Amino acid sequence: MTARPATTAAVLITCGVLCAALAMGLRNSFGLFLAPMTEANVWTASGFSFAIALQVLLNGVSQPICGQLADRYGGRAVVMGGAVLYAIGILGMLMASALGVFTFFAGVVMGVAVSAAGMPVIIATLTRLLPESHRGRAVGLGTAGSSFGQFLVVPLAGIGLGTLGWEVTLALMAATALMMIPLALPLAEPPRPKVAPKDEETARQALSRALRTPSFWYLFFGFFVCGLHISFLTTHLPGFVHYCGLPVAVGAGAIGLIGLFNIGGSLAAGELTQRWKRRELLVIIYAARGVLITGFMLVPKTTTTVMIFSALMGLLYLSTVPPTVALVARNFGTRWLATIFGLVFLGHQLGGFTGAFMGGVVLDMTGSYDMMWWIGVGASAFAALVHLPVKDPPLPKPAGATA
Helix, strand, coil tally for the chain in percent (to 5): 80, 0, 20
Check whether 2 has a pLDDT greater than 50: no
- CATH level 2 (architecture), domain 6-186: Up-down Bundle (1.20)
Give CA separation, 145 vs 69, 153, 307, in Å.
Answer: 23, 12, 22
So what's the pLDDT on residue 3? Answer: 47
What is the average pLDDT across 177-203? Answer: 74
pTM, 2 dp: 0.72
Q: Are the C-beta atoms of residues 3 and 131 closer than 8 Å to each other? A: yes
Q: Which of 236, 226, 261, 183 is nearest to 371 (CA)?
A: 236
| Residue 367 pLDDT class (50, 70, 90 cuts) | confident
What CATH number labels 201-386?
A: 1.20.1250.20
Question: What residue spans define the domains of the chain?
Answer: 6-186, 201-386
Which range among 2-6, 202-206, 382-386 has the greatest average pLDDT?
382-386
Which three-class secondary structure state does DSSP give residue 207? Answer: helix
| Residue 252 pLDDT class (50, 70, 90 cuts) | low
> Is 201-386 in the same CATH topology as 6-186?
yes
Q: Which residues touch 32 (CB under 8 Å, ≥6 apart)?
A: 154, 157, 158, 161
Mean pLDDT of the chain: 83
